[in-house]
Structure 1
Amino acid sequence: MQRADLEIGENLERHRTEGFGHAKALVVRRGAPFRVSLPMKARPFDARTDTLRVKVMLGPLYVTMPVTSFSPNNVSSRWGAFMDPEALDPNKPSVYIHAPPSASVGRYSFKVLVSDRRKPRFLFSGKFILLCNSWCSADSAYIPFEDQREEYIQNDSCLLFMGTATNVVSRPWSMDQFEPDVLEACLNLLNVSPQHQHNKRTDYLCRNNPVYISRVVSAMINCEDDRGVLKGNWSGDYSGGIHPSMWTGSGDILRSWAQSGYRPVKYGQCWVFAAVMCTVMRVLGIPCRVVTNFNSAHDTNGNLVIEEFYNEMGKKLKSTKDSIWNFHVWVECWMTRRDLGGGMDGWQVLDPTPQHRSRGVFCCGPAPVKAIKERRVDLLYDVPFVYAEVNADVHTLVVSQGRVVSRNVDTERVGPLVSTKAVGSPRMDNVTGDYKKIKSPFSTLSSNMSSRSERSTLRQGTAKMAAVLTLDETPVAGAVIRFTLKVINRQPVAKMLKVHLNAQCKEYNDSPADTFWEDHSVVQLGPSEAKVLKQQILPGQYEDVVGDDLVNLAAVLEDMATHERLLAFEEFNVAAPELLIKIEEEDNVTVNREQSASVTFTNPFSHPVSGVLSVSGAGLLQGHANFRMFPLRPGGSGDQRITFVPTMKGTKMLQASLSLSNKSTVRGFKMVSVRPL
């Protein structure tokens, strides 16, 4: 048996898989032919007497077919093989193998038999990896615009959006789908899945459908029910693993998982789960993007109501099983939904974070975005759960001595902004309108939390006073946090009010920790009078508790005569400083030529800091370059020069992260345009 020539260069270019050139097998896409050549060393091929048959195998599945002459009708919905008689080289004849647009994804092998009754038979063999084809209109993963195919299949970098709806933070992430060993890890993920281990034949047959593939991947990214990739951890104790915020790309995670014998990598949180799933789906050829839902509701009992509790001093209390995450990250995959009939094709929500069981397994989706907007809770999969994440009502209650003394209802707080990275640009794209019927412009919905509190109070119809809590400016690390509390007496009689202010540090997905700043005062208001109270929190009061975390700031007003209480609150993030990256000769970055760059950090904090700088970039650097940054005084700057050698053309992301001694992390990125030689 001889090896067929897989014509690697030609096939990779034709199938837009050049990034997988390092793979151990030819990588092609279904719905398009690829060419293999047969080196006839013993004798020339005789088209008059020789016949050829091809056998293609995927695990226990196989198909055999004769090699026919080329014609336009050869490209069909079935497996086929053909030759072009007009371009026949008798010493090295070529065979084109056509995988139908509905073929299953996976590792294939093939054999080509050359036979003639009067002459010796020859057998050639080879291997290839078959992926979905978003460029083929008959493929159920087809997406009709070239710029979207480049973004959602080929782009090996991304921005993840975090923070709050009023102060969105972009975090760079390296998708790494073309980095060494990542393709193999993604294919192994399918083979390690319970579906494959239970019935290999059925699993292989079902891998023709992105709906099936996406559900398998969604479950396998977390390890709750299987030998999945990531172990989730929100406890605050990350010993024995890596803090979720330290990951910068998918490649390290997927390689670590595969090299460990498929033991879960520690640790992940929602954006890590989503970003790794996005990598896997792009590798498999299914268009995928990372999506962030701000103020995302986790409605455990399905009643579309989330309850939050404060005490009379303004301290937010530990939540019930229901909760609101300041942001939650999932993915959308583009696919045809033949299982749902017409009208539900397009973007589908999938969520690999283990917070919801779907048919008994920790996975979520694919739920059509169109179905979420239309509240089609009768459709597969998990539409009610995702609908609640963007549409639940919030009941905010103040309790005193075990009794509820104030209640607000807010129908607009959940899901005010759903966002993703824009096509071809490092900016945010607002896709909220795809998920819900927007009652008012986004700028009104998210202008500030306090205006929402005032609207909620007025809707109750019994309020005798109002409060508006607003930040004077976007909080920035190292600067004073200034805010304003406007107190309004809505009655024609004077009032004496107790004002309790409370600030707590909180993680994006949890109830706040203990109070780190508070203020208590008494305010006298004349009839129908409004007063503006100015307050500030100094850097030294918050720097030790706010890194990647957020702040819950609340005010409780108590009428000293009636003991009526009113709550106003704001949850916000403090904008972190950024690393500045400069590329030398930025317009002349070329494949395989050494390039220099510098990374600069200026310390905005009120105390000296030191840390470790890590620089990486898919297609630019192999692995990570690490440097120790020595202590910088407040206001001081440090500069680190780095070199890199690009290995791939196109637009690449060079990213840097600085882990500081105060446990916060500073990040930066630079898009680099790499020219071919």
Structure 2
Amino acid sequence: MYFMQPTTHNTCGTDGDQCQLKLVNYEAHENHISHETQGLSKTHLVVRRGKPFKITLMFDNQWNPLLESLVLEVWLGDMSERIRVQSSNEWSDPLRWSAKINQSDIHPKSVTIHVCSPVLSSVALYELLLHIETKQYRKSYVVGTFVLLCNPWLKDDPVYMPLDVQTEEYVKSDYGLIFMGTPLNICRRPWSFGQYESGVLEACLKLLQVSPQHLSDKNQDFVLRTDPVYLSRVLCAMVNCNDDLGILLGKWQGSYKEGVKPTEWSCSADILHQWVSSNCRPVRYGQCWVFAAVLCTVMRVLGIPSRVVTVFNAAHDGDGSVRVEEYYSSTGEKLNISKDSIWNFHVWVECWMRRPDLGPGFDGWQVVDPTPQERSAGIFCCGPCPVIAVQQRRLNAPFDAAFVYASVDADIIRLVVRDGLVVGRMVDTQAVGQLIYTKSIGSDRPENLTPAYKRKRWDQPAGPVRGSAHRAELGSSCSNQSQSSPVMGGGGAERSHSLEVSLDVDGVPAVGDSIILCVWVTNQSDCSRVLVEYLNAQFKEFDSGPQKSFWKTRRKVHIKAGEVLKLTHTIPTAEYEAYLAGDDIVNVAVVIKDIRTNRRVLAAQEFSISSPRITVEIEGGDTIKQNKEHTAQVSFINTFPQTLSGAVLTVEGSGLLGGKHEARLFFLRPGEQIEAQVSIMASSPGTKVLMATFSHSNCPSVVSRSFHTVSVIAE
């Protein structure tokens, strides 16, 4: 890459026959390969700190090293450092900027300079000047700019990762998977981090430049940018817009007409481009996985190894009690009266770094959560919190260890309420943080991170939970005594073990299937009992409380001493399809009441309903060439027993398609197919995501989505 002749910055004395700088070659291709920064920018030289890069200076006359000294000067904000270019094969102080020339790099009218930054340099866009100095004069040139990033390949950098497969996955890969749903029905959606899309690097640098820290004191901000702990806190806060000019505005309920529904995003680059083009106005809208995916993109771009992590059954503990209370009616309906909540899944980011501020025992993966939930030191961010601190229950460790610990390991106190009194109390120590997943290195399989967070409690094998039960026990029931207590204040705890109840879901229900529920009741006492079973089903969103019940049943059952009863129930499709909306999750709960004692026991379960499948096929396979047109065939077959009216099949894909492409049918009869054929072409290499959606007017709120990954190879 050659530049126009630089302009003179400062001139002293006379030029005479002395050499003048004519052209600069940033050796971008070679530097980008050497620094693992290929594709990050088409306009800037992008290099990593602590590793030499080279530039070639071309003069109009022969440069005389005996008479003329070369001095580089790097500027960052109002700060600068002069670097005298040495003729040496050795590097000088590694804690300071240095530059050298090898004898083999000196030619009649050009010279190649090798420049090395300190390993703890600030992440930023730098300006570079050149001074040609003799005893009589100094001629100065503005050479240009370059971007300096963290260096996870360098052992002395705090973000160093020892294995190439790790840096390939957690720094260079522009493709990820986000796990969603419930432990009973885990779904995965691909995400394009998009760090090689045009303008993304520049957007990440702009994010730092408009942060409150930079706007209040830019020089101090530049100095602190050497530290990945500082960078992660600044960037975490900037991904949400609650305190600043950040990227995303969160929304979890209501209409999304003023923006994009969070489920429709599949690429960080789209979000970053919109934020930049709108002059830093917040992009509408984000939810936890969108916040996390965008933060992961920014971190990878700046050289901090990062991965997206999903916690299933994540607790939001607002009062710091490390427990969450849930309230149910005496007939099993979940009540929205708790200040705390449990999200079926919550997504955050782990970043890899050393923690010299805490000591070597806290190095490694750190939780950084950009979803605005609680303030940390006055701003909406969370972390970096060492994962090992959560595992070891070091709740005082910075930053936000207690909050993160509660998210993955809080106890659930389930209270059964009747007439304002607690008539049943169960403690569940296993449900929160039941599974913690991330994408495996080099594979779409999930990596189970639960043991890293929960060493003592975790003893289950990796993989999705199937048919797991929430169990609770009821006290001895051969007496006719009962207990109750006010709702506020707890009480009513059952300590003996005579009745055990669990609730399972048979298989993974899909839209259009009946839901099969199995209630298991074990009588561990030495007497028969007469029980009343109340079973209740409600819809809910992943991050909020349930709606009113859409189905309930009640029956009286007899159980003998020592007997195990299996009570099976079916919820037909017709009972729920009119109430199903979008990506709803089903909460089912059973309350078993002992008629003699009036004591109650509760078991609960939540699961998602799978959407019908959309098929995506790429002509010639899922690997395509850059800048070459390919055809994608997208289809949906109506597997429902009824005709669907107003069928719409939509296809879109960042970096593959411009805008949305739709196919429509007035009627789609059972067994019939709707198809969309689109031409795709990628302008940059990497992994892209095609998203297809299907909707129909029979149930407008239910939309099926499918995500298909496409690998793009360079020309």
Band the TM-score falls in, shorter-chain normalisation: over 0.9
- The corresponding residue for 1:465 is 499
Task: Give the conservation status (yes or no) of the 8 Å contact 1:390–1:414.
Answer: yes
Structure label with greater radius of gyration: 2
Once the two structures are TM-superposed, the CA of residue 521 in structure 1 deviates from its matched residue by 2.2
Indicate how the Cα distance of structure 1 residues 180 and 455 shifts in structure 2: closer, same or farther if over 3 A, else same. Answer: farther
Q: Write out aligned runs for 1:395-474 (5 A).
A: 395-443=413-461, 447=465, 451-454=469-472, 460-462=494-496, 464-474=498-508
Q: Is the partner of 2:334 in helix, strand or coil?
A: coil
- Between the aligned partners of 1:145 and 1:457, the Cα distance in structure 2 is 54
Match in the other structure for 1:517: 551
Tell me the equivalent position of 2:17. none
Q: 1:657 pairs with 665, 683, 692, which one?
A: 692
SS in 1 for 2:335: coil
Paired residues of 2:650 and 2:693 also in contact (CA < 8 A):
yes
The AA in structure 2 aligned to 1:616 is G
Alignment pair present for 1:172 and 2:207: no
Q: Which one of the candidate residues 261, 267, 276 is aligned to 1:243?
A: 261
Q: Pick one of 37, 44, 48 that aligns with 1:29.
A: 48
* Residue 134 (structure 1) aligned with residue 152 (structure 2): yes
CA distance in 2, matches of 1:588, 1:224: 40
1:518-537 deviation digits (Å, cap 9, x = unpaired) = 12222233444443222112
Pairs within 5 Å for 1:211-610? 211-443=229-461, 447=465, 451-454=469-472, 460-462=494-496, 464-544=498-578, 545-586=580-621, 589-607=624-642, 608=644, 610=647
Q: How far has the Cα of 1:156 moved from its partner?
A: 1.0
Q: Measure the CA separation in 1 of the matches of 2:615 and 2:602.
A: 41
Q: Is residue 652–residue 660 contact of structure 2 (8 Å, CA) maintained in 1?
A: yes
Q: Distance in 2 between matches of 1:475 and 1:642?
A: 32
Structure 1 range deviating more: 2-11 or 559-568: 2-11
Checking the alignment, whether the CA contact within 8 Å between 2:248 and 2:283 is kept in structure 1 is yes
Question: How many angstroms does 1:7 deviate by?
Answer: 2.0
Q: Which moved more, 1:211-220 or 1:484-493?
A: 484-493
1:147 corresponds to which of 146, 165, 170: 165
Distance in 2, matches of 1:242 and 1:55, equals 46
What aligned pairs does 1:185-196 form with structure 2 within 5 A after superposition? 185-196=203-214
For normalisation by structure 1, the TM-score amounts to: 0.94
The code of the aligned residue for 2:673 comes to S
Give the aligned partner of residue 17 of structure 1: 37
Higher mean displacement: 190-199 or 83-92: 83-92
SS of the residue aligned with 1:514?
strand
Distance 1:327 1:430, change over 3 A: same
- Aligned partners of 1:398 and 1:405 also within 8 Å: yes
- Which shows bigger deviation, 307-316 or 257-266? 257-266
Tell me, which stretches of 5 or more residues in structure 2 are unaligned?
1-5, 8-22, 477-492
Q: 2:676 aligns with which of 615, 637, 640?
A: 640
- Residue by residue over 1:361-396, the C-alpha shift from the partner in whole angstroms, topping out at 9 and shown as x without a partner, is 111100011111111223211111111111111110
In structure 2, the CA distance between the partners of 1:478 and 1:123, relative to structure 1 (3 Å rule), is: same
Match of 2:652? 615
| Structure 1 vs Structure 2 CA RMSD | 2.4
Deviations for 1:266-306, whole angstroms, at most 9, x for unmatched residues?
Answer: 11111111111111111111111000111111111111111
Q: Give deviations 1:508-549, integer Å, cap 9, x for gaps.
A: 111101111112222233444443222112223223414312
Residue 14 (structure 2) aligns with? none
Q: 1:132 to 1:120 in 2, by over 3 A?
A: closer
Paired with 2:597 and 2:97, the residues of 1 have a C-alpha distance of 80
1:412 aligned counterpart, secondary structure: coil
Output the CA distance in 1 between the equivalents of 2:599 and 2:299: 54
What is the 5 A alignment of 1:48-127?
A: 48-74=66-92, 76-117=94-135, 121=139, 123-127=141-145
Aligned length: 672
> Kindly tell me: are residues 423 and 444 of structure 1, through their superposed partners in 2, closer, same or farther at Cα, counting changes over 3 Å?
closer
Counterpart Cα distance in 1 of 2:137 and 2:400: 61
Report if aligned partners of 2:175, 2:193 keep a CA contact under 8 Å in 1: yes
Contact 1:450 1:568 in 2 (8 A): no
DSSP 3-state at the match of 2:91: helix
1:137 maps to amino acid:
K
Distance 1:344 1:25 in 2: 35
Q: Name the stretch that deviates more: 87-96 or 435-444.
A: 435-444
Which residue pairs with 1:669 in the alignment?
Answer: 707
Would the alpha carbon gap of residues 262 and 105 (structure 1) be closer, same or farther in structure 2, given more than 3 Å must change?
same
Report the alpha carbon displacement of residue 645 of structure 1 after superposing the two structures with TM. 2.6
1:31-53 Cα distance to aligned partner (Å, 9 max, x none): 11222222213x22223322101
| Counterpart residue identity of residue 495, structure 1 | R
* Conserved? CA contact 2:636–2:694, under 8 Å: no
Could you tell me how far 1:191 is from its partner in structure 2?
1.0
**Corresponding letter in the other structure for 2:28:** I
| 1:502 Cα offset (Å) | 1.0
Decide whether the 8 Å contact of 1:416 with 1:442 is kept in 2: no
Q: Percent identity?
A: 40
TM-score of the pair, normalised by structure 2: 0.89
In the aligned structure 1, how far is the partner of 2:34 from the partner of 2:474?
58
Instruction: Tell me, in whole angstroms, the C-alpha distance in 1 between the residues paired with 2:466 and 2:33.
Output: 50
Q: Distance in 1 between matches of 2:359 and 2:502?
A: 49
User: Would the alpha carbon gap of residues 457 and 653 (structure 1) be closer, same or farther in structure 2, given more than 3 Å must change?
Assistant: farther
Using the TM superposition, give the Cα deviation of residue 579 of structure 1 relative to its aligned residue in structure 2, in angstroms.
2.6
Give yes or no for contact 1:457–1:466 (8 Å, CA) kept in 2: no
Rounded to whole Å, the distance in 2 between the matches of 1:392 and 1:12 is 46
Mapped to 1, the partners of 2:474 and 2:639 lie a distance apart of 38
1:71, 1:7 → 2: CA distance? 20
8 Å contact from structure 1 (residues 330, 351) kept in 2: yes
* Shift in Å, 1:440: 4.9
Give the conservation status (yes or no) of the 8 Å contact 2:623–2:710.
no
Is the CA contact (8 Å cut-off) linking 2:129 and 2:140 kept in structure 1?
Answer: no
> Quick one: distance in 1 between partners of 2:659 and 2:431?
40
Counterpart CA distance in 1 for 2:659 and 2:161 is: 34
**8 A Cα contact 1:408 1:457, kept in partner:** no
Deviation at 1:422, TM superposition (A): 0.7
Q: In terms of mean alpha carbon deviation, does 468-477 or 589-598 score higher?
A: 589-598
Q: Secondary structure at the match of 1:13?
A: helix
AA partner of residue 651 (structure 2): S
